[in-house]
Structure 1
């Protein structure tokens, strides 16, 4: 074979090799472009339910990945107001979503209620202080009562409103131990660091085995409603909409129900 022919063949092989590599690179690039990650900020009380919903959602929507961010609803709202890159916000209070709407930070028409919850009074297992009602919290031997911070944690706002409505807030305010969110309040009760506390029924249900006792359901002044919305600054509104639709689908509703929420129709 002549040197010229050999050079031509070598050149062709090189061209073919580079073409294959470029084609492969293009396929990889196309594949990565098809996967979108959205950030969902959700109230702490939704931790377990949303973790399961994320798992099922990603199975059914392999091209959409979900990053979950849990905290007190008020803290999450403040993050969004500060410009945090959030696509979907699920709150334990209508108030925080309404504030974002007033500030034009929610996508028009995206707000919807998806679940409700209830408030309960719980005590450490054993109930050594024999607490049988909310009124018993005024007893002298009860010295520490935990609620979420009413300024940022809706569970605390609901509890404070209820205690004020029943004329007990002024008598109990000095005993209050504030948690950053409902999960911190639950931890205080599980470890016996406080005498009693107010959490959502859904959180009481997932407490460590034999760590707490539910004393009573507490009537609230404001109905405990969970709204969800798409944030207007989201660059992934279509994918965010798919997630919200999944949250309110039969699968989403069933998971919420399994964790003790009442799913909205």
Structure 2
């Protein structure tokens, strides 16, 4: 008798439970993908190609908001190592900043992936634009009515590469007064020679430029608008930056433009002392890593994959930054597994 009395309530409960479960299953939407903010600190000269990479990446991963933060490469690295900011990707116009400053505490590996060269950018309205060439550019920069610029050596690799180029030009053109007449006479940067190596000192907080003659900005790309507006006649830039902005530019001799491995020994005869340390002249090679304290390291590695795969290589080629193919890693064992098919280990 008790079984019959309890049977109905039990059946009703089962129906309600099962019915609720079925209703819930049918009407529950699948959970949305987690929204990710991916931060990339990068050299200003990488802005063009990385914007292309960003667009492609976000199209494939709509849940990821890529936030590109351009700055001088030294600043990019120091934001991680000194200020304590978090980034998922750090890309530098001088690969050596990663092993020299970030490793071992903030990075375990790095990849070299692209090259560049120094050039002198100008516009159609620049003074003596119709005269300047590979043989006389340094003479034109010395003319009293010409104003030119470069970026801060303490913040930006293009900035410390500019005095390297000018010092190397002394030997190329047989004029040992070039550095003084172009640089030291108009700011606090000096040069001295020790056993055949030229030591350029820019390790002061205030470079004290004579702004009637030269302009020194935090990033080299900041000089582009000054040239375009007529505020400057000439600016030292990477050739890729000049191309991407539709600037006129002068191809400098390979012996001074920091582009060729064949001239590595020549480039190494100049060094620049900066607030953060000393940089030795060498061919321009870009480096990238995922910081060891990255918030989203897997997405950081995936973004780098988009930089160095075949499509990424095409973007860099089109925008004037020859890719290194395959990209080279310093430590294959430490690199993310997802990047292994796209990289080779350095010799």
- TM-score interval w.r.t. the shorter chain? 0.7 to 0.9
Q: 1:194 aligns with which of 216, 232, 254?
A: 232
CA distance in 2, matches of 1:125, 1:182: 20
- Residue 169 in structure 1 maps to residue 179 in structure 2: yes
- In the alignment, which residue of structure 1 is the partner of 2:250? 215
- In the alignment, which residue of structure 1 is the partner of 2:45? 45
- In the alignment, which residue of structure 2 is the partner of 1:180? 218
Say if 1:148 and 1:156, in contact at 8 Å, map to a contact too.
yes
TM-score scaled to structure 1, two decimals?
A: 0.82
Say if 2:317 and 2:323, in contact at 8 Å, map to a contact too.
yes
| 1:1-37 Cα deviation digits (max 9, x unpaired) | xxxxxxx9xxx69x949x7499747x34xx243x433
CA distance in 2, matches of 1:179, 1:244: 29
Task: Give the Å deviation of 1:64.
Answer: 3.8
Gap change, CA 1:84 and 1:22, over 3 Å in 2 = farther
CA distance in 2, matches of 1:177, 1:116: 26
- In the alignment, which residue of structure 2 is the partner of 1:261? 321
TM-score scaled to structure 2, two decimals?
A: 0.64
1:182 aligns to what SS in structure 2?
Answer: coil
- Paired residues in the alignment total 248
2:153 aligns to what SS in structure 1?
Answer: coil
* RMSD over aligned Cα atoms: 2.8
Instruction: List runs of 5+ in structure 1 lacking aligned partners.
Output: 1-7
Of 41-50 and 131-140, deviating more is 131-140
- In the alignment, which residue of structure 1 is the partner of 2:93? 92
CA distance in 2, matches of 1:223, 1:140: 30
1:193 aligns to what SS in structure 2?
Answer: coil
Say if 2:141 and 2:148, in contact at 8 Å, map to a contact too.
no
Of 254-263 and 218-227, deviating more is 218-227
Instruction: List runs of 5+ in structure 2 lacking aligned partners.
Output: 1-11, 171-177, 187-212, 259-266, 268-281, 326-347
Q: 1:69-148 maps to which residues of 2 (within 5 A)?
A: 69-81=69-81, 82-106=83-107, 108-109=108-109, 111-129=110-128, 130-132=131-133, 133-148=136-151
Say if 2:125 and 2:230, in contact at 8 Å, map to a contact too.
no
Task: Give the Å deviation of 1:225.
Answer: 0.7
Task: Give the Å deviation of 1:148.
Answer: 1.0
Say if 2:96 and 2:287, in contact at 8 Å, map to a contact too.
no
Flag the structure with larger Rg.
2
Higher helix share: 1
Say if 1:190 and 1:207, in contact at 8 Å, map to a contact too.
no
